[in-house]
Amino acid sequence: MRTPSFDLTGKAAIITGATKGLGYGMTHALAKAGADVVVVSRTKSDCDAVAEEIKSAGGKAIAVPADVSKPEEIQALVDVTVREFGKIDILVNNAGTAITKKAIELTEEDWDKIMNVNLKGPFLLAQAVGKQMMAQNSGKVINIASMFGLVGDVNVLPYLCSKGGMIQMTRGLALEWARYHIQVNAVCPGYVKTALNTSELDTEKIFKYITGKTPMRRYGEIWEIAGMVQFLASSAADFMTGAIIPVDGGWTAQ
């Protein structure tokens, strides 16, 4: 019997939003598992720094600054990756943003900004990468959605809609691309502590509120999300596609 493997040696992986928070953890996890990683974010200096960290640890990485809401930069990202590594095995659609505002106060600009970064950009990147994966007859697309694509919340309406849309995009692409041996799955994180949000999440009021609503009574850790991404990127998940996986301490099970 074949033994499950989580090794990613020789696999080429694009990770967007790769320099901070969850994306930073995912990038390092895939690199430690052996993947050759393409570090993507809008800021060149941040991309360069993370790529250098990976190379200093013995991994292989290139830095490609790009704004995933801009189609011309998406195609350039794909072209650079194929030129450097000859293929694209893994795409992690992680870049995202949010705005906190009452629905009645939202502007069209607010709506478009969230949708462009959280839904339109990931679709256009998946589409561009998908063409390469079809030619290879293999690939893994991992969309980082949110538990708030599955349940509601207040004052974040565009975010809810964008992540719900990403979940449906995951299902649709999974069905269309299964015949090409491309697996498309989504991870739906709950509240996870990162360097970007620790000061807010550690306030007594917020901590009590969130952990009180989370069955496991704690925040998630970056490595717990990164571990799920590594699994989905590996051959151990070859028979999984169209899966929507909450990693949220039980929030959406209620």
- Count of structural domains, the chain: 1
Active-site residue, selected from the candidate residues 24, 159, 191, 219: 159
From CA 120, how far away is CA 112, in angstroms rounded?
Answer: 10
Task: Let me know if residue 2 belongs to a domain.
Answer: no
Q: For 144-167, what is each residue's pLDDT tens digit?
A: 999 999 999 999 999 999 999 999
Task: Let me know if residue 5 belongs to a domain.
Answer: no
Task: Let me know if residue 176 belongs to a domain.
Answer: yes
> Quick check: is 219 catalytic?
no
Scanning the chain, the segments in alpha helix (DSSP H) are 21-32, 44-56, 71-85, 108-115, 121-136, 157-177, 198-201, 204-213, 222-233
Q: For 24-59, what is each residue's pLDDT tens digit?
A: 999 999 999 999 999 999 999 999 999 999 999 999
Q: Give the structural domain span for 181.
A: 12-247
CATH number for the domain harbouring residue 127: 3.40.50.720
From CA 161, how far away is CA 163, in angstroms rounded?
Answer: 6
> For position 197, what pLDDT does the model report?
76
> For position 203, what pLDDT does the model report?
86
- Tokens in use for 36? 């050759």
At a CB cut-off of 8 Å and minimum separation 6, what does 112 contact?
none
State pTM to two decimals.
0.96
Task: Let me know if residue 32 belongs to a domain.
Answer: yes
In the chain (254 residues long), the average pLDDT of successive 10-residue segments reads: 90 98 97 98 97 98 95 95 98 95 98 97 98 98 98 97 98 99 99 80 88 96 97 98 98 97
Task: Let me know if residue 6 belongs to a domain.
Answer: no
Task: Let me know if residue 4 belongs to a domain.
Answer: no
